[in-house]
Amino acid sequence: MSEDRYLTFALGKGRLANKTLELLESIGITCEEMKDKNSRKLIFTNEELKLRFFLAKGPDVPTYVEYGAADIGVVGRDTILEENRNVYEVLDLGFGKCRMCVCGPAAAGELLQHHERIRVASKYPHIAKDYFFNKKHQTVDIIKLNGSVELGPIVELSDVIVDIVETGSTLRENGLEVLEEVCPLSARMIVNPVSMQMERERIIKLVNQIREKLEESK
Amino acid sequence: MMKQLLHTPEGVRDIYGTEYARKVEVENRIHSVLSLYGYQDIQTPTFEFFDVFSKEIGTTPSRELYKFFDKENNTLVLRPDFTPSIARCAAKYFSEEKLPLRLCYAGNTFTNRSDLQGKLKESTQMGAELIGDCSVEADAEMISMVVQALLDTGLKRFQISIGQVEYFKGLCAEAGLDEETEMQLRACISGKNYFAAQELLVERRVQEPYMTRLLKVADMCGDMCSLTEARAMVNNDRSITAIDRLEKLYQVLSAYGVADYVSFDLGMLSKYNYYTGVIFKAYTYGVGDAVVKGGRYDKLLTQFGREAGAVGFCVLTDHILEALSRQKVELPVPEAPEVLHYTEETFQECLAQAKRIRGEGRPVVLTAATGGNR
């Protein structure tokens, strides 16, 4: 609708951001400023294409997008499910693949077969609650932890954990295993609903370009 | 203790000074558009019986309603929106001959949403309802009123997206989806969540060509051409009727001269069963959500024992103000009053002068030269 307005991207810090920039580069969208690792700038612009990029902590990306502070965001599906924000989820970018799982010592598998109350530790209390309440109909106590969730069953804080599993090596080293899979995860592109209406042409064009690129590399 | 006294609870706030002057100005401008179309003001109670806003009727989940009890232990609710109240009112007071009714309202609504930080729990809404008119001209009148109201507030760049739930429902029926799958698919498509929709359809073993067609609904937005494309994809009366209606609507909107502001989005599906036909939302820069929401709700009045089609919209005044300030649209604020300083000796004289100025219709403040501290 308007060429003078910047389209703003919020990218989840770390590996996701790098992968996203690689992908954007492959369709001809570059941001030289961002490659300078010594830069202390928080926001990077591509004047030619009228694009802006910034890095944010993963869980904050859906928030920036919901409020329209960013038009487009790239973040893991785990964050989208946990935050449950009002955003459009338009693309599966295919990288950052892993699984959300219920894990614990093998003996804990028995506890999941019945509807009895168990303790679940997780960095993702909403996802854990939704899974046990709405899918398994099991009553659980959720304990929110902020990291090293694997400790939960080891020090007997909880019976099981709900966490992201990539290779499973951390689990094995600590005598835990995957008991059930909650859902598959990967990086997603999200769009603010208002931007989707107001900047439809630019956004749809971008989404289609990326979609084609992804199909090619499949 | 002092802090408790000075602060407001989370989600509500004081509005004063220039900000409130701007709000009043915007409300006046929108109201004058509604008046020009012949809409009459109506006031309904701030709280009503729970049943008026219950699951069958309202659009707000029960857990987001502010509830309390009266002496007889009835559950009462602070209104989360106006439409159910207006429908109840229309069903109660107005006889068949008086239809169609044109009503408009303004006031505050309340929703208890603690998880959405930064969003207000008390917000101002203004809106209009046209009750007892099922015609496409009524739909167009609503949409052109929205365009006019937004233009009058000073917004220049905005867009109205129009959808029609019936198209999607017709397609679901054609594909033979059960009700549960339809509701889940509806949530996925209205969230433009293509992948969740695809997963769902694969899981429910939906056959081609319906799989592709249902997924396509999420992408179906744009101008009139998108309607032609949408028409080619379906083979049932319900969806075709929906498309016919939208095309007719576009013609009437062109006659109003507002067609440039509208676009179609068949993937815009309300989560609730409240809306039965055309639905629309207005978007502009600077706010993360729609600034106007509306649509046709032909079944709502039957909940109150009256058969009458209706169409309406509500303007989220706070969002409009946010958009105006983000887009740096100037609004004239009322002129500052003239100030007259009086002393004990000159009071009579100043008072006479103040009376004269007020008589001329200009504001004046009468204040003690000593500042009023004796």
Cα distance between residue A140 and residue A129, in whole Å: 8
Prediction ipTM score: 0.72
Average pLDDT value over all residues in chain B: 88
b/e map B76-88, b = 16+ CB within 10 Å: bbbbbbbbbbbbb
A91 with A102, same domain: the answer is no
∠ CA B113-B165-A135, rounded to 5°: 50
What pLDDT was estimated at residue A1? 40
Q: Looking at residue A128, which CATH number applies to its domain? A: 3.40.190.10
b/e map A101-133, b = 16+ CB within 10 Å: bbbbeeebeebbeeeeebbbbbbbbebbeebbe
Q: What is the CA radius of gyration of chain A?
A: 20
B228 with B200, same domain: the answer is yes
Cβ A194–B283 below 8 Å, yes or no? yes
Q: Would B331 be classed as within a structural domain? A: no
Q: Would A2 be classed as within a structural domain? A: no
A86 with A44, same domain: the answer is yes
B121 with B199, same domain: the answer is yes
Q: Which of B97, B121, B99, B90 is nearest to B108 (CA)?
A: B121
B288 → closest Cβ in A66, A89, A91: A66
Q: Is A107 on the interface with B (CB under 8 A)?
A: no
Structural domain span for residue B354:
338-368
What pLDDT was estimated at residue B55? 76
B213 with B64, same domain: the answer is yes
Q: Is A196 on the interface with B (CB under 8 A)?
A: yes
User: Is the Cβ–Cβ distance between B203 and B177 less than 8 Å?
Assistant: no
Query: Three-state SS for B121?
Result: coil
Cα distance between residue B279 and residue B270, in whole Å: 8
A180 with A104, same domain: the answer is yes
Q: Measured between beta carbons, which residues in chain A are less than 8 angstroms from residue B159?
A: 1, 197-198
User: Is the Cβ–Cβ distance between B280 and B160 less than 8 Å?
Assistant: yes
Structural domain span for residue A129:
98-184
∠ CA B177-B179-B182, rounded to 5°: 60
- DSSP H helical ranges for chain B: 2-6, 17-36, 83-93, 136-153, 165-175, 179-190, 194-203, 210-216, 224-233, 237-256, 317-326, 347-359
B251 with B227, same domain: the answer is yes
B310 with B344, same domain: the answer is no
pLDDT in tens, B251-293: 999 999 999 999 998 888 876 667 888 999 999 988 878 999 9
Cα distance between residue A138 and residue A158, in whole Å: 15
Cβ B283–A66 below 8 Å, yes or no? no
First and final CA of chain B: distance in angstroms? 31
Q: A163's torsion region: left (phi>0), alpha (psi -120 to 50) or beta?
A: beta
Say whether pLDDT at A131 is over 80. yes
In terms of CA atoms, which chain B residue is nearest residue A67?
B288
Q: A155's torsion region: left (phi>0), alpha (psi -120 to 50) or beta?
A: alpha
A123 with A198, same domain: the answer is no
A105 with A85, same domain: the answer is no
Q: Looking at residue B140, which CATH number applies to its domain? A: 3.30.930.10
Cα distance between residue B64 and residue B78, in whole Å: 10
Count CB-CB contacts under 10 A for residue A159: 21
Cα distance between residue A132 and residue A158, in whole Å: 15
Cβ A68–B284 below 8 Å, yes or no? no
A135 with A212, same domain: the answer is no
> How many CA atoms, within 13 angstroms, populate the side-chain half-sphere of residue B297?
27
First and final CA of chain A: distance in angstroms? 33
In terms of CA atoms, which chain B residue is nearest residue A192?
B288
Cβ A67–B263 below 8 Å, yes or no? no
Q: Would B333 be classed as within a structural domain? A: no
Q: Would A63 be classed as within a structural domain? A: yes
What pLDDT was estimated at residue A17? 87
A168 with A180, same domain: the answer is yes
B184 with B54, same domain: the answer is yes
Nearest-10 crossing angle of helices B136-153, B237-256: 50
Q: Is B112 on the interface with A (CB under 8 A)?
A: no
Q: pLDDT tens track of chain B, all 374 residues?
A: 556 678 888 888 899 988 999 999 999 999 999 999 999 999 999 999 999 988 777 778 888 899 999 999 999 999 999 999 999 999 888 877 778 999 999 999 999 886 555 678 899 999 999 999 999 999 999 999 999 999 999 999 899 999 998 898 898 888 888 888 888 888 888 877 777 788 888 888 888 888 888 888 877 777 777 888 888 888 899 999 999 999 999 999 999 999 999 999 888 887 666 788 899 999 998 887 899 999 999 888 888 888 889 999 999 999 999 999 989 998 887 788 899 999 989 999 999 999 999 999 999 999 988 765 55
Cα distance between residue A69 and residue B286, in whole Å: 8
Q: How far is CA A212 from CA A27, A172, A184, B107, in A?
A: 10, 38, 22, 49
Q: Would A1 be classed as within a structural domain? A: no
B189 with B65, same domain: the answer is yes
A42 with A83, same domain: the answer is yes
Cβ B157–A92 below 8 Å, yes or no? no
What pLDDT was estimated at residue B372? 58
- Neighbouring-strand partners of residue B365: B339
Count CB-CB contacts under 10 A for residue B303: 18
Q: Would B316 be classed as within a structural domain? A: yes
Q: Would B374 be classed as within a structural domain? A: no
* Candidates B64, B120, B195, B325, partner chain A, best to mutate (most A CBs within 10 A): B195
Q: Is A207 on the interface with B (CB under 8 A)?
A: no
Helix-then-strand count for chain B, H and E: 12, 14
A114 with A144, same domain: the answer is yes
The tally of domains found in chain A comes to 2
Give the single-character DSSP code of B125.
E
Query: Across the A/B interface, how many CB contacts are shorter than 8 Å?
Result: 58
Confidence category of residue A86, pLDDT binned at 50, 70, 90: confident
Cα distance between residue B103 and residue B85, in whole Å: 12
B348 with B277, same domain: the answer is no
A60 with A163, same domain: the answer is no
Count CB-CB contacts under 10 A for residue A189: 23
Q: Which of B264, B297, B302, B13 is nearest to B138 (CA)?
A: B297
A119 with A139, same domain: the answer is yes
Reported residue count of chain B is 374
> How many CA atoms, within 13 angstroms, populate the side-chain half-sphere of residue B64?
18
Q: How far is B191 from chain A (nearest CA, A)?
A: 5
Q: Comparing A216 with B359, which gets the higher pLDDT? A: B359
Confidence category of residue A2, pLDDT binned at 50, 70, 90: very low
Q: Would B263 be classed as within a structural domain? A: yes
Q: Would B373 be classed as within a structural domain? A: no
What's this model's pTM, rounded to 2 decimal places?
0.82
Beta strands in A57-172 (DSSP E): 72-76, 88-92, 98-104, 118-122, 140-144, 160-165
Q: Would B209 be classed as within a structural domain? A: yes
The tally of domains found in chain B comes to 2
Q: Would A73 be classed as within a structural domain? A: yes
Say whether pLDDT at A197 is over 70. yes
B229 with B347, same domain: the answer is no
What pLDDT was estimated at residue B118? 62
Q: Would A55 be classed as within a structural domain? A: yes
Cα distance between residue B267 and residue B218, in whole Å: 5
CA A62 from chain center: how many Å? 9
Instruction: Output the CA torsion B349→B350→B353→B354 (10° steps).
Output: -150
Q: What are phi and psi of B305, to 5 degrees?
A: 80, 25
A65 with A34, same domain: the answer is yes
User: Is the Cβ–Cβ distance between A185 and A101 less than 8 Å?
Assistant: no
